[in-house]
Structure 1
């Protein structure tokens, strides 16, 4: 194989996977199978909180999903009205609030995540255990390394350097949001292949 062609193959395969998982019909079938009526961003917020295992601040959710806080706030408000989320006092700061799943919200998130896991389980059903373990190892490594590289690259970009003290404090680099690392230091990006998959381990 010519030099570099293996990376072309890897990136092409990744693009096909992301395109398939992000199709509108894929999301419709996921929510239909899970028995819920939720938009993609709603599922992303619910599953993020399920994976976190504890209430989170709006900023932490936005950081984990790599979106802006106002975007999360809108969807949190909608999910609160539907009884899927609730606000609880932040134990570290009595003046602040965290967002928590209600029992109904936790159930909806768990069902969405389970549907995605079942899809992947069926796809790799015939794989040897060693291949499944190697997939888990390499995909996690790829996710960590690519996200870390891009975060560093974007942090060193001219647009981001302009955010240093004395410059425009509220500006964002190209793309509309800053590259971020979510709570606990876990990079995101490749791991958010599907709203129902974030944080879950590959089958096996």
Structure 2
């Protein structure tokens, strides 16, 4: 396979950045009754991952543990996450979505799905499937880099850069 030209990669990186901002704004606008993006992201990945230690979730989210700990604390306070002792290590704990958290996640997904579907009403099923494939391939290509960066970057470096 031939190498991709640097200008093409630069344009792709710019487009992905702008798309991420646009997607977040388009799908989360007018959601004051739901969760902020950061908390919704934690809830989504915890539901996907299942009961786990916060360190596992932090690695999955490419976040430092102290940042994630604040989010988990807020979600516990709101009743959307349960924190239980780890039966294998009483010094540690496991987190899992509560039924209320799963209900909130379902409400968020329903609203965002409805908003996105309205914008894709002139797309075919095949076009949406193609877009999904490209996004999944990009995620698979970039996830190892993000995970490595998260493992070596402190929370302070993340907030200052």
User: Within 1, Cα distance between the matches of 2:59 and 2:106?
Assistant: 21
Of 102, 122, 129, which residue of structure 2 is paired with 1:133? 129
User: Within 2, Cα distance between the matches of 1:88 and 1:46?
Assistant: 16
How far off its partner does 1:150 sit? 5.9
Per-residue CA distance 1:3-31 (angstroms, 9 max, x = gap)? 655444433332221122344x86342x3
Q: Is the 8 A contact 2:62 2:147 kept in 1?
A: no
- Within the alignment, does 1:121 sit opposite 2:117 as a pair? yes
User: Within 1, Cα distance between the matches of 2:77 and 2:157?
Assistant: 31
Q: Is the 8 A contact 2:51 2:95 kept in 1?
A: yes
- Inter-CA distance 17–100: structure 2 relative to 1 (3 Å threshold): same
User: Within 1, Cα distance between the matches of 2:156 and 2:101?
Assistant: 34
Q: How does 1:13-162 map to 2 (within 5 A)?
A: 13-23=15-25, 27-29=28-30, 31-32=31-32, 35-36=33-34, 38-52=35-49, 54-149=50-145
Q: Is the 8 A contact 2:66 2:155 kept in 1?
A: no
Q: Is the 8 A contact 2:83 2:95 kept in 1?
A: yes
TM-score in terms of structure 1 length: 0.61
How far off its partner does 1:90 sit? 2.7
Q: Is the 8 A contact 1:50 1:110 kept in 2?
A: no
How far off its partner does 1:92 sit? 4.1
How far off its partner does 1:99 sit? 0.9
User: Within 2, Cα distance between the matches of 1:84 and 1:147?
Assistant: 27
User: Within 2, Cα distance between the matches of 1:27 and 1:109?
Assistant: 13
> Matched residue of 1:96: which SS?
strand
TM-score in terms of structure 2 length: 0.74
How far off its partner does 1:124 sit? 2.5
Q: Which has the higher contact order (CA 8 A, sep 6+)?
A: 1
Q: Is the 8 A contact 1:43 1:109 kept in 2?
A: yes
Per-residue CA distance 1:70-93 (angstroms, 9 max, x = gap)? 122122222222222211233544
User: Within 2, Cα distance between the matches of 1:64 and 1:80?
Assistant: 19
Q: Structure 2 stretches of 5 or more lacking a match?
A: none
Per-residue CA distance 1:31-62 (angstroms, 9 max, x = gap)? 34xx42x333221221121222x212111222
